[in-house]
Amino acid sequence: MRVISSAEVFAHALDTERACGRSVGLVPTMGALHAGHLSLIERAARECDVVAVTVFVNPLQFGDSSDLANYPRMLDADVQLAGSAGAQLVFAPEVEEMYPGHPEPPSTSVHVSGVSEGLEGASRPGHFDGVATVVAKLFSVAGRCRAYFGEKDFQQLAVVRTLVRDLCLPVEIVACPTVREVDGLAMSSRNVRLSPDERDAAAALHRSLEAGLSALRRGERDLDVIRRLMRIELSSSPMLEPDYVEVVDARTLRAPSVVDGELRLLVAARVGPVRLIDNDGIVIESYEFETPVRDIVSVAAADAHSTGDRKER
Ligand code: AMP
């Protein structure tokens, strides 16, 4: 395992791998690695010849300075875990390496409009500019690669996909499913900051998603009803302070014009000292619950035909 703190050395290391014909998998993280991160690294190791994990707590994406100060940092353990999951390189730069003028904000930053608005974008102003800027920098240093991101941060995934498309970056984005604890709580580096009681209460985020999904599966199509059911579950513990519950079109992240196709349910809530998010998806195929128009027409035609037949006899 090689741990690199210089962007120039990291870029050179990956250039050398590609020059030898090896494909590169990149797993950007903020460290405090858990099984969710490891699932990304393991997948990258299955699909690429060389895997590089980046560990960088990006100050630009934190609006709340106490969240930044209290974000868990444990590089030695991260290096160990990344290696055991199949990574060969860890890029762990200091803040000044990524932002030479720090604490002055960089002169150049990246803003992705559209998918970054609403949801986390509305609750955390500036957050996705920070994400897009650091991801653009990491991609620029790493060069041509496949980059692995978790669906756990669904809106971030959409922002990164848009960034890559709009800037023609030579990166293929690979989305990986959310890894959960036994009670459904999505794994997160922030979970270590929860007390045992808060940890138990946090499972309500997943129950809220389940409430919405099961109502949709039963055929409920009124989004106000779905959101109300989700909010009831999210408000079930006084330890939770709900932020939003939303149902959106998975592609646009906007309210769907019809309840059809691929939908994403998303929730956010504050639990004790931390803010947690979660999401899950469902594909609604309208004919599952309704008789298609063409079937109604053909049944009616068949009825008319058989009635006519009887009249003729
Ligand atoms: P973070 O360190 O929180 O910035 O996350 C780094 C990457 O790991 C992001 O692409 C996250 O979406 C992903 N990730 C975080 N938690 C999970 C999880 N529970 N399951 C799958 N991926 C995750």
pLDDT, tens digit, for every residue of 96-116? 999 999 999 999 999 999 999
Nearest CA to ligand 1 atom 12: 150
**Rounded to the nearest whole angstrom, what is the distance from the C-alpha of residue 155 to the centroid of ligand 1?**
12
**Rounded to the nearest whole angstrom, what is the distance from the C-alpha of residue 29 to the centroid of ligand 1?**
7
**Ligand 1 within 6 A of 138 CB?**
no
Q: Which residues contact 58 (CB under 8 A, 6 or more apart)?
A: 30, 98, 130, 131, 134
In contact, 48 and 146? CB cutoff 8 Å = yes
pLDDT along the chain (313 residues), means of 10: 98 98 98 98 98 98 92 97 98 98 95 97 97 98 98 98 98 98 97 96 98 97 97 95 98 94 98 96 76 44 45 35
**Ligand 1 within 6 A of 187 CB?**
yes
- Rounded Cα gap, residues 129 and 113, in angstroms: 9
Residue 288's pLDDT is 52
**Ligand 1 within 6 A of 240 CB?**
no
pTM: 0.91
Residue 286's pLDDT is 75
Nearest CA to ligand 1 atom 7: 29
- Rounded Cα gap, residues 251 and 263, in angstroms: 8
**Rounded to the nearest whole angstrom, what is the distance from the C-alpha of residue 82 to the centroid of ligand 1?**
14
- Rounded Cα gap, residues 145 and 90, in angstroms: 15
Instruction: Please identify every residue annotated as catalytic.
Output: 37
**Ligand 1 within 6 A of 176 CB?**
yes
Q: Which amino acid is at 194?
A: L
Q: Among the residues of 219-313, which ranges form H helices?
A: 223-234, 293-312
At 266-300, the pLDDT tens digits run 999 999 999 999 999 999 987 655 444 444 444 44
Pocket test for ligand 1, best of 42, 128, 153, 187 (most atoms within 8 A of CB): 153
